[in-house]
Structure 1
Amino acid sequence: MGTAREDLVETVLAVRSSPPQLTANAEHVVVEADLDVPTGVASIVGCTQPPKPEYALIVTPGRYRVRVSYVPSAPPAGSNPDIPGDYLSYQIDIWPATAPSALTVARQGPTPWAG
């Protein structure tokens, strides 16, 4: 997943039992990309962070679907106002899936996206 800023960004991760409704105020929604988690452990880290045990997400081993919703937000505490890019909160939803499916964009945003 790419972000609109190279700075601090808000991210919310929810593990669900089934696909949630689309987030109404999201400007951009990438829906249902596959994520295989054969070990039951996924690392949740930024692109410059090394994986650490405290960043592990423990789930039942298997295939998941992932939805990333890009929601306009206020600047997070500690962000640098001199770095260009939109302030967005990234809502990541994952849920179990039984079969592979193609990547789908549910809502295309008005600006170019890094990811």
Structure 2
Amino acid sequence: MPEQTQIELAVFADYFQFYLHDEVENEDFGALWSDEAVERLLAVASHSVGIGTMRNVSVPVVISVHAQAPAADFDEWDMVNECSISIRSGRIAVSGCTDYLPDARRIAVAPGSYRVRVSYSGLDHVGADGIEGDDFYRVQLWPQAPGTLSVVKAREALSR
């Protein structure tokens, strides 16, 4: 595997979410979006990860696949979560929840277990209209044995 593969996307985050999932798995996220999952902007299943967003439009996303865990640069992010995902098919699909799956962007990876780090920025910089915003989502993956979901950096409460 190369040291790093990276793609930049604008993903349609219909219903304030988008997914990374094994292209051959069909997990139901309806039950996974608990109040806690909504708060941390992350819902996790065995072969899928649902990433919550602050806007219900296309959002900027950078996804990178690394040979090993990338450096911890948590200070510059509003929030950081980590979880695991199992990819059997060797292809990760990236899609909004209402996207047509055959058209979803694919990322080729070796089959196996991956650690997923989702870093969120600009969460407090979304316009009142919910359309304009500076929110940004970075997803990093690397091979690693399955582990537990972890809130690496919690979002600070908004002062109103």
Same fold (TM over 0.5): yes
Q: Which moved more, 1:37-46 or 1:80-89?
A: 80-89
Q: Which runs of 5+ in 2 are unaligned?
A: 1-50
**Relative contact order, CA 8 A, sep 6+: which one is greater?**
1
1:106 pairs with 2:152 = yes
Runs of 4+ in 1 over 4 A off after TM superposition: none
Cα deviation 1:24-73 (Å, max 9, x = unaligned): 31000002x11100110110111221222561111011110100000228
Greater fraction helix: 2
Which amino acid is 1:102 matched to?
T
Match of 1:96 in 2: 143
Match of 2:19 in 1: none
1:45 pairs with 2:92 = no
TM-score in terms of structure 1 length: 0.79
Which amino acid is 2:80 matched to?
V
Which amino acid is 2:149 matched to?
L
Q: Provide the aligned C-alpha RMSD in A.
A: 2.6
CA distance in 2, matches of 1:52, 1:111: 39
Alpha carbons of structure 1 residues 22 and 88: separation in structure 2 relative to 1, 3 Å: farther
CA distance in 2, matches of 1:27, 1:85: 18
1:35 pairs with 2:85 = yes
- 8 Å contact kept, 1:27–1:108: yes
Identical aligned residues as a percent? 29
Q: Which runs of 5+ in 1 are unaligned?
A: none
CA distance in 2, matches of 1:43, 1:81: 31
Match of 1:67 in 2: 117
